[in-house]
Structure 1
Amino acid sequence: MRIIIIEDENRAAHRMQALIEELRPEAVILDVFESVRESIEYFNTNPNVDLIFADIQLADGISFEIFNQIQLKCPIIFTTAYDQYAIEAFQTNGIDYLLKPIEKERLQKALDKLESLQTDQNTEQIGKMLQMLKQEDHKKRFMIKVGDRIRTIETKGILAFYSMEKATFLYTFDQRSYAIDYSLDQLQDLLNPTDFFRISRKYIVSHMACKEILAWSNSRLRIDIPGLDEEVIVARERVGDFKNWLDN
């Protein structure tokens, strides 16, 4: 059995490796990846694995971003620190979901369970699992590069996302813009729709950015975001949905 581990905490990754080696000594751990980006790069050229262990929250995003972009047929065991009720709900889909710290007995049951499943069942169940995860979890932070340093920005500190000259930027409460490696289309799927709204092809805004809104030409609206020189316009066809989003 060929296994990939996706985990950005060294201690958790080492524990997982040790438990797998103890419970399935015949298994081969092909590699351990710490990020969404590394995992996608690997699976683009090496899709043939038998089992994946994937932590939900990684330094550069959420692991189901990987499986949205790469179509894999192998089973996945997700690991996280969600509350027990959510875990039980996911287990009913036949793909396991382990609470950290991982217990040996619980991992043994997960491996036994997955080995009894058929591949076509796995494919369908992975899709169901990812859909449930989308509903339960949204991106909470972004990794950015500032000079030779890497830092993270919480989504609660972001006023808007915008595209300019084929690049995407986030704009923060302290009126700074940072380039990120996501398109607005991708962000629309990753962000919590309660907090963020796509107002046009060029902008996604936070409800915290919508303090000053003006009527604009052609039945559009303009949002005045402090420090942002660009005109932030709500597209005419989005005005109705935008007002409903603000009201709710």
Structure 2
Amino acid sequence: MRVLIVEDEQGGAQNLCDLLLSLNKEIEVLAIVESVRETIDWVASNPKPDLGFFDIRLADGDSFEIFEQTEIHFPIIFTSAYDEYALKAFKVNSVDYLVKPIEKKALAAALDKYAIFYANKTSTYSQLLSTINELRRTETKQYKKSLLVYYRDQIIPLLLSDIAYFQLENEMVYCVTHNDQRYQIDQTLEKISNQIDPQEFFRANRQFIISRTSVQSASQHFNRKLKIKLSPIPNEELIISKSKAIPFKTWLES
């Protein structure tokens, strides 16, 4: 089975690869692409895979935009943090979804469903597009106003408006407030990213999620990357990759 993975989080993509190979060593990952634009270009210039895994939220938009700009003639399993009610329609049209963080048991069940889909070929591109449009109509954009953080021996709610950025450091996730207070959070950056407003926060790289109000400036860096100046100043440099530079600038001026 030849697989295309559309995922802008390197850790998430690697986890999916590892799980796939643990379930079936004959699976071949053809490519891992990170954005709407890269996916469209890849589909246009390569033979179609047997199956695609598409993260819904990508650095430069959502993966539904891919279907608006090119026809996808292979089955898709979406990965997302959308609620189950909104995603029920996917199962009706013989496509599936996996809620992050992806678990091996759920992935195995999705692959079994793919096998049935592949044998019966019961869904069409037009049905898939109709399902995507329905999901967009039923999507509810309700984001958290606060998160629980650890402070000494207490767990306290912290308003998201007080947070300058989230940082992964030594396998632990911390948030830093605008007044330079630092708290530990018992969640992954991936999970946090799915709970907060993407208009206010941007997943800059594997280590940082930053708030709009924390960004002081951006400067050109080596190989068309961006070096970001934050306030408060973090304990390591924040570099945004070339592939995320344009989405970042678009987000910052929106």
* TM, length-normalised to structure 1: 0.55
Alignment-derived partner of residue 131 in structure 2: 129
Q: Deviations over 1:93-112 (max 9, x none)?
A: 32101110111111111111
Cα-to-partner distance string for 1:130-161 (whole Å, 9 max, x where unaligned): 22233245995599xx663332555xx8xxxx
Deviation, 1:90, is 2.9
The answer for the alignment partner of 1:239 in structure 2 is: none
Task: Show structure 1 runs of 5+ residues with no match.
Answer: 158-169, 173-248
Structure-2 residue corresponding to 1:96: 96
Deviation at 1:47, TM superposition (A): 4.2
Matched letter for residue 130 of structure 2: K
Cα shift readout 1:54-100 (whole Å, capped 9, x = no counterpart): 00110111111112212121100011111232233432332101110
Q: Which runs of 5+ in 2 are unaligned?
A: 142-196, 203-217, 221-225, 227-244
Tell me how far apart the structure 2 counterparts of residues 42 and 25 of structure 1 sit (CA, whole Å).
24
Q: Which amino acid aligns with 2:87?
A: I
Seen in structure 2, the aligned counterparts of structure 1 residues 75 and 136 have a Cα distance that, compared at 3 Å, is same
Instruction: Tell me which amino acid in the other structure corresponds to 1:123.
Output: Y
Structure-2 residue corresponding to 1:77: 77
**TM-score under structure 2 length normalisation:** 0.54
| 1:121 alignment partner, SS class | coil
Deviation by residue 1:199-247 (Cα, 9 ceiling, x = unmatched): xxxxxxxxxxxxxxxxxxxxxxxxxxxxxxxxxxxxxxxxxxxxxxxxx
**Letter of the structure 1 residue corresponding to residue 36 of structure 2:** V
Higher relative CO (Cα under 8 Å, sequence separation at least 6) belongs to 2
1:37 maps to 2:37: yes
| Regions of 4+ moved over 6 Å | none
After superposition, give the CA deviation of every residue in 1:169-208 in whole Å (9 maximum; x if it has no partner). Answer: x7x5xxxxxxxxxxxxxxxxxxxxxxxxxxxxxxxxxxxx
* Partner SS for 2:74: coil
CA distance, structure 2, for counterparts of residue 89 and residue 124 of structure 1:
14
Does structure 2 conserve the Cα–Cα contact (< 8 Å) formed by 1:141 and 1:152? no
Q: Distance in 2 between matches of 1:141 and 1:63?
A: 17
SS at the partner of 1:77? Answer: strand
Deviations 1:18-59 (A, max 9, x none): 111111221110010111111111111114111000001101
Aligned-residue Cα RMSD (Å) equals 2.8
- 2:25 maps to 1:25: yes
Cα separation, 1, equivalents of 2:47 and 2:129: 17
Tell me which amino acid in the other structure corresponds to 2:95: I
Provide the rounded CA distance (Å) in 2 between the counterparts of 1:19 and 1:9. 16
Q: Distance in 2 between matches of 1:64 and 1:86?
A: 14
- For the residues of structure 2 that align with 1:152 and 1:15, how far apart are their CA atoms? 29
In 1, are the aligned partners of 2:94 and 2:122 still within 8 Å (CA)? Answer: no
The percentage of aligned residue pairs carrying the same residue is 40
Q: Are the aligned partners of 2:4 and 2:51 in contact in 1 as well (CA < 8 Å)?
A: yes
Structure 1 residues 135-146: aligned runs within 5 Å: 135-136=137-138
* 1:13 counterpart letter in structure 2: A
Alignment of 1:114 with 2:114, yes or no, is yes
Q: Secondary structure at the match of 1:116?
A: helix
The one-letter code matched in structure 1 to 2:56 is: I
Measure, in 1, the Cα distance between the counterparts of 2:80 and 2:112: 20
Distance in 1 between residues matched to 2:126 and 2:24, nearest whole Å: 26
